[in-house]
Structure 1
Amino acid sequence: MPAPYEIPEVLDRREGPHGEVVLRRHGELLQIIANGCFLMDTSDGRSERLLVDAARDALDARPGPAVLIGGLGVGFSLAHAAADPRWGRITVVERERAVIDWHRAGPLAGLTERARSDPRTRILETDLVRYVNETSDTFDALCLDIDNGPGWTVTEGNGGLYSDAGLASCARVLNPGGVLAVWSAQPSPEFEETLWNAGFKQVRTEEIPVARGVPDVVHLAVGPG
């Protein structure tokens, strides 16, 4: 962990279609900042791994389930999914070219090198909201971690993903009995109600203990199909 007085070092700064995205080093940690908002760092990864595991555990015993991971970030979710032979096709959607570059030939490459070379893995440079609206692909699990939660989005356009219309698009790409898992920095009873209203079943929230502060959570729901 970095000492409190250490000044973060900016490794790369890009202007993308959704604003500024920055990769910086703070002590031993690598951090991603979007439009001045801290998104994630390499300190732990526990909640990202539990996001993937919670979705897998909520599925029935179907062989080789396909998973869509929304957001590449520092790569914890991808690396954890690829390390699990029970997953089949693994698709990652990331809208920021800079983040993909940092994994392919930058400071984050070592975190996902094995996962990216896994034949099950596919990384797509596209906006998640657009993707679930337009794709003909279907999945058994959707693991979404593109914001700090349904009520704390990185950009305004992401808010539509957690609306009735956005959840209908998520449901459309889920196979029957498929699971939606959404990471959040805090519980959202309002989002749970929206999931129920959108026709999702078995809606629940699992807490993920963190080192300090309130627990992170994963919102889980089975698709209406």
Structure 2
Amino acid sequence: MPHVRSVVVAELEPAVVDWFRVFSSERAARVERDRRLRIVVGDVLDQLRTGVRAWDLICLDTDNGPGWLVHQANAALYEVPGIRTVRAALREGGVAVFWSAERYPAFEASLAAVFRSVLPRSASDVVDGRRHEYTMYVVR
């Protein structure tokens, strides 16, 4: 993608980055050779705070969404102050996408308190013959 200048992946769990490198070894090596990519092991909110108005697109796949957390500290991303951090990191006209295991009306209300446009979109995937439904919140 020649028009992409940089991609930053922030992952809280070092084991997830290791998993990517081990189980996607050839692909991971090719991706990591691209100088536009930077993998940061750490909290995504900390990463977003380093770049006010720095991002055109922010894609967040954090935990399982606002209602099904593995790490309670991730709740901050789904609360209004965390959502404001995401908004502050976007350039004018930027878009953020939040992945969620299911739809959460209370989270939609929090997004609407910060962003002028909140579009919940259903998505699905088939894993081992089973269909899984997800929600993607596209916000501007």
1:208 corresponds to which letter in structure 2?
A
What's the secondary structure of 2:94's corresponding residue? strand
Instruction: Give aligned-pair identity as a percent.
Output: 33
* 1:33-52 mapped onto 2 (5 Å cutoff): none
In structure 1, which of residues 68, 80, 95 is the aligned counterpart of residue 12 of structure 2?
Answer: 95
What's the secondary structure of 2:23's corresponding residue? coil
- How far is the alpha carbon of 1:213 from its aligned partner? 4.8
- How far is the alpha carbon of 1:144 from its aligned partner? 0.4
RMSD after superposition = 1.8
Does the alignment pair 1:126 with 2:39? no
- How far is the alpha carbon of 1:107 from its aligned partner? 2.6
Partner of 1:168: 84
In structure 2, which of residues 22, 30, 33 is the aligned counterpart of residue 117 of structure 1?
Answer: 33
What's the secondary structure of 1:131's corresponding residue? helix
Task: Say which structure, 1 or 2, has more relative contact order (CA 8 Å, 6+ apart).
Answer: 2
Partner of 2:106: 190
In the superposition, the TM-score normalised over structure 1's length comes to 0.55
Pick closer, same or farther for the CA change 1:111–1:148 going to 2, 3 Å. Answer: farther
1:90 and 1:120 in contact (8 A); partners too: yes
Pick closer, same or farther for the CA change 1:214–1:122 going to 2, 3 Å. Answer: closer
CA distance in 1, matches of 2:104, 2:4: 28
CA distance in 1, matches of 2:131, 2:107: 21
1:95 corresponds to which letter in structure 2?
L
Deviations 1:21-44 (CA, angstroms, capped at 9, x unpaired):
xxxxxxxxxxxxxxxxxxxxxxxx
What's the secondary structure of 2:117's corresponding residue? strand
CA distance in 2, matches of 1:98, 1:213: 27
Instruction: Name the structure with the higher helix share.
Output: 2
- How far is the alpha carbon of 1:146 from its aligned partner? 1.8
What's the secondary structure of 1:178's corresponding residue? strand
1:97 corresponds to which letter in structure 2?
P
1:91 corresponds to which letter in structure 2?
V
What's the secondary structure of 1:219's corresponding residue? strand
How many residues were matched structurally? 136
* 1:53-72 mapped onto 2 (5 Å cutoff): none
Unmatched runs of 5 consecutive residues or more in structure 2? none
- How far is the alpha carbon of 1:214 from its aligned partner? 5.3
CA distance in 2, matches of 1:217, 1:177: 22
What's the secondary structure of 2:102's corresponding residue? coil
Partner of 1:143: 59
2:120 corresponds to which letter in structure 1?
T
1:144 and 1:181 in contact (8 A); partners too: yes
CA distance in 2, matches of 1:203, 1:97: 32
Q: Which runs of 4+ in 1 moved over 4 A?
A: none
Unmatched runs of 5 consecutive residues or more in structure 1? 1-83
Higher radius of gyration, 1 or 2: 1
CA distance in 1, matches of 2:124, 2:16: 27
1:141 and 1:178 in contact (8 A); partners too: yes
Partner of 2:137: 219
